[in-house]
Amino acid sequence: MTLQTILNRLQKLHPKEIDLSLDRVRNLCKKLGNPQKDLKYISVVGTNGKYSTIQAIRAILKQANIKCNIYTSPHIQRINERFVFNDEEISDSDLSDLLTKVEEVNNGEEITYFEILTAAYFFHASKYKENINIIESGLFHRFDATNIIDNNLLSIVTAIGLDHLDWLPKNEQTIEKIIFEKTSALLNSKIVVAKQSSEDIQNLIKHSISSNKSKKITFNDNFSYSINENGFIYYEDEFGGVKLPKPNLMGQFQIDNSATAVAAVRNLDLDVTDENIKSGITKIKSIARLQEIKSGKLKDLCKNNQLFVDGSHNPLGAKVLNDYLQTLNCKKHIILGMMANKDHQEYISYFKNISSLTTIDIPNQPNSIKGEDLKNKLNNLPNLNYKESVEDALKSISADNEDIILITGSLYLAGEVLNLN
């Protein structure tokens, strides 16, 4: 039986894609022998920067020969990306066997797709009890399926902003509510709070976790960094200062994420040296986060231009992406595809001095907004076009040598782009 056949079947076990509750996943994990018990965890919550922070921690720990299991969502190109054990993505055959076993134990009970995948992760992770499990919280955290563990080594709160508002009641679609959902149920261990987009948000997070007995490690209060004019980063916390190279990722926000990862690692009781940290942050593997496409079918359509893909899809992501683009002295062309439930106008409002904007359809995504409808919503913008496909959009852009072309607006679009390429 193919992996896709199994996945299609699992998606039919619940009438809703998301149904925020912990009862179903707890019930299934109980049937599986509560595999989530007695494992070592780092929990990662937030709106943006979770994936990059996780990959930075992974790279550092790998340099220290510390094995990791990693659970993230959504995937970009293959569902196997969500399941990393012993620092390796699970194979198709092993994932098929795992999901079949968990499906049999579930015995047809109603459960969402994400919940049964989460239970499957815990079940397989229990085979590697000495490994550190880095767990990314999904939509929110309080009622997210990952929130059934009893203790962890540390929690990380990455940058928080407005996103997934359609899952909140109309009168609660606020940053305060999002912060409450993401941080109020954090475990009592240690909490690292990353750099936030404003002091107000940082203070709201501090207030939300004020009654939590964890040690708090907050950006600026307990750790910080500065960029030296010679290009290196000077990182500092209670354990002292360390001179670091820049991470092998583009954008100021990736330095923020890397600094958060360093703060987390230095606050764990692990045998990680400064040399492990220095080496690790130059070997971070991150896809669809301001990723340059240097070769392939799509790159061949724009040989004289740099081609980037980025999965940002909310206002906070748009802001940090634009901040990076503004540091570049060239023309920028954006190809945009988005899911229907996003705030399309606010997202694109953060981009300044764009030479052209081309909206497209996202293939294989029934919940996306049609590119023509997206164009109509943004019709007050200059140099606005619609093309059905990424290929047509790339062919249509009149770009000078060394102009930048950026494909953005959705992680799902980023995955389709990388597959097409």
Q: Give me the residues of the chain with pLDDT under 50, please.
A: none
Alpha helices in 163-235 (DSSP H): 175-183, 199-208
381, with CB counted inside 10 A (0-12, 13-18, 19+), is: middle
For residue range 9-67, list pLDDT tens digits in order: 999 999 988 888 899 999 999 999 999 999 999 999 999 999 999 999 999 999 999 99
The CA distance from 287 to 283, in Å, is 13
For residue range 227-238, list pLDDT tens digits in order: 988 889 999 999
pLDDT at 303: 82
**With DSSP H G I counted as helix, E B as strand and the rest as coil, what are the percentages for the chain, rounded to 5?**
35, 20, 45
Instruction: Name every residue whose Cβ is closer than 8 Å to that of residue 7 and which is 6 or more positions away in sequence.
Output: 79, 99
Question: Is residue 177 a contact partner of residue 202, using CB atoms and an 8 Å limit?
Answer: no
The CA distance from 283 to 51, in Å, is 15
Classify domain 3-280 by CATH architecture. 3-Layer(aba) Sandwich (3.40)
pLDDT at 115: 96
Closest Cα partner for 156 from 223, 239, 217, 222?
A: 217
pTM above 0.85, yes or no: yes
pLDDT at 30: 98
pLDDT at 168: 78
Angle ∠(362,284,252) on CA atoms, nearest 5: 75
pLDDT at 16: 86
What residue spans define the domains of the chain?
3-280, 291-420
Answer yes or no: CATH 3.30.70.270 is held by domain 291-420. Answer: no
DSSP state letter for 219: B
The CA distance from 7 to 406, in Å, is 32
